[in-house]
Amino acid sequence: MKLWGGRFTKSTDKAVDDFNSSIRFDSRMYKQDILGSKAHAKMLGKCGIIPVEDSELIQKTLLEILEDIENGKVEFEVEAEDIHMNIEKILISRIGDAGKRLHTARSRNDQVALDIRMYLRDEAAGIKQMLIQLETTLIELAEKNYDTIMPGYTHLQRAQPITLAHHLSAYFQMFKRDLERLTDCTKRMDVLPLGSGALAGTTYNIDRKMVAEELGFSSITLNSLDGVSDRDFAIELASCLSIIMMHMSRFSEELILWSSLEFGFVEMDDAFSTGSSIMPQKKNPDVAELVRGKSGRVYGSLITLLTVMKSLPLAYNKDMQEDKEAIFDAVDTVKMCLPVFTRMIATMKFRKENMYKAAQGGFTNATDMADYLVKKGIPFRNAHEIIGKMVIYCIEKGKAIEELTMSEFANFSEVIKDDVYAEISLEKCVSGRNIPGGPAEESVKVSLDQGKKFLKEIE
């Protein structure tokens, strides 16, 4: 018999049971469901809505059920549809009428809205810790590489010299914003929907604030229709998770390129690479590739959620049961990617000589050469043109700018003196850019120090 079976004269078709049931994916919210019910029962007792003895018995039994679930002693039933009714059914089977009083002044609609908020709140906190770990690793790596010169790119063409510390610190900034976004998104999960009932609240004189406090929510929802039908918080979380994956995917893409023979900037640790079943020489960056690939999966969840919610009339509709697999998969995927990604970057080796060599090619100091002329009084546009011609000349001669002799320089401008060599060295190109946010050691240090402070405060 279904908990809602009174109005029915036939039992549910087996196919409908399977189709309708969400227990195979919502059972993971068992703890949130039990803690939510426990707080609800406590409140019902305190407000005199159910007898205090029943309230206490319900609370005690719910904790026993929790323990049994955790010890693998409970089997959920598809016929009981979802985690909410499975647990209520078990409760009733153990304590009879007292258990039947639990669902007073409550609906599964506000119950599920509560459970999913509690579940995602916990998951978001866990993901934040993983991001903090990644950020800590990035700072450690960056601090070892203030003077590791490498080319910075635009259009994947060598552009200007930077340092590895500066490059890593760029990712630090991205993941820092991800942390901030998660913190912000969590605020909107931190609102108790219980008390919204099915859609129109309840006539019982319940104490929603007490339940909120009991469950660690900062406030309560202010409209019962909205309380049961809002899934913005899940969409926001999926969006935060998508951006995290996008950032990891960009980083992965670079590491895949950098570990190719063509770049040779990094070598992945053997423990974080895989081989080929046919080509004996191969060492592939599968971890980075999988992270890149899985980003698509998380974006997919975001689109699923947006599409499920699109056009839904108020208030609850069963469509909303489809929110769970999408958001759970997004959460699981990010939780799987972050730690392995962090360990992969912590263990890789940077080929500093190759980075330096790459920065020496491609005329990465051409801007600095133009700036040299500007500092001697030549307008920038003219300087740009002169150096453009100088680059053509260098390509013909197979030389780098700093390999030109003073007499070759003289053909381009008479303002060039032999101080030019020091001014266009890769080291000077980097150290000269010591403005806030720049690649010079002191600038990167300032931004990393701020980063460390941020991490301390967020923990």
Terminal C-alpha separation, the chain: 49
Kindly state whether residue 320 participates in binding ligand ARG, applying the rule CB under 6 A.
yes
Kindly state whether residue 318 participates in binding ligand ARG, applying the rule CB under 6 A.
yes
Instruction: Tell me how crowded residue 450 is: count the other CB atoms within 10 A of its CB.
Output: 13
> 302-308, long-range: CB within 8 Å, 24+ apart, which pairs?
302/235, 302/238, 302/239, 302/241, 302/242, 302/326, 302/330, 305/231, 305/234, 305/235, 305/238, 306/235, 308/231
Closest CB to ligand ARG among residues 7, 155:
7
Name the residue with tokens 């803690």.
35
* Size of site (CB under 6 A) for ligand ARG: 10
Kindly state whether residue 110 participates in binding ligand ARG, applying the rule CB under 6 A.
no
Kindly state whether residue 115 participates in binding ligand ARG, applying the rule CB under 6 A.
no
CB of 189 to ligand ARG, least distance (A): 17
x/- letters, 410..439, toward ligand ARG (CB under 6 A): ------------------------------
For 322, the token pair is 């489809």
Kindly state whether residue 109 participates in binding ligand ARG, applying the rule CB under 6 A.
yes
Closest CB to ligand ARG among residues 24, 417:
24
Kindly state whether residue 82 participates in binding ligand ARG, applying the rule CB under 6 A.
yes
Task: Give the Cα separation of 250 and 336 in Å (integer).
Answer: 17
Kindly state whether residue 79 participates in binding ligand ARG, applying the rule CB under 6 A.
no
x/- letters, 9..48, toward ligand ARG (CB under 6 A): -------------x---x----------------------
In this chain, which stretch among 48-56, 189-197, 317-325, 363-371 interacts with ligand ARG, using CB under 6 A?
Answer: 317-325
CA-CA distances (angstroms) from residue 328 to 69, 87, 237, 304, 316? 20, 20, 11, 12, 20
Give catalytic residues, as residue numbers: 155, 276
Q: Is the peptide bond before 15 cis (omega within 30 degrees of 0)?
A: no
CB of 97 to ligand ARG, least distance (A): 24
Kindly state whether residue 118 participates in binding ligand ARG, applying the rule CB under 6 A.
no
∠ CA 84-88-94 to the nearest 5 degrees? 150
Residue 438 DSSP class: S
In this chain, which stretch among 148-156, 318-326, 332-340, 444-452 interacts with ligand ARG, using CB under 6 A?
Answer: 318-326
Asked if residues 120 and 237 have their Cβ atoms less than 8 Å apart, the reply is: yes
Closest CB to ligand ARG among residues 101, 106:
106
- Binding residue for ligand ARG, selected from 169, 202, 221, 321, defined by CB under 6 A: 321
For 231, the token pair is 């899934």
Amino acid code (one letter) for 419: D
Using CB under 6 A as the criterion, which residues of the chain lie in contact with ligand ARG when the complex forms? 22, 26, 82, 108-109, 112, 316, 318, 320-321
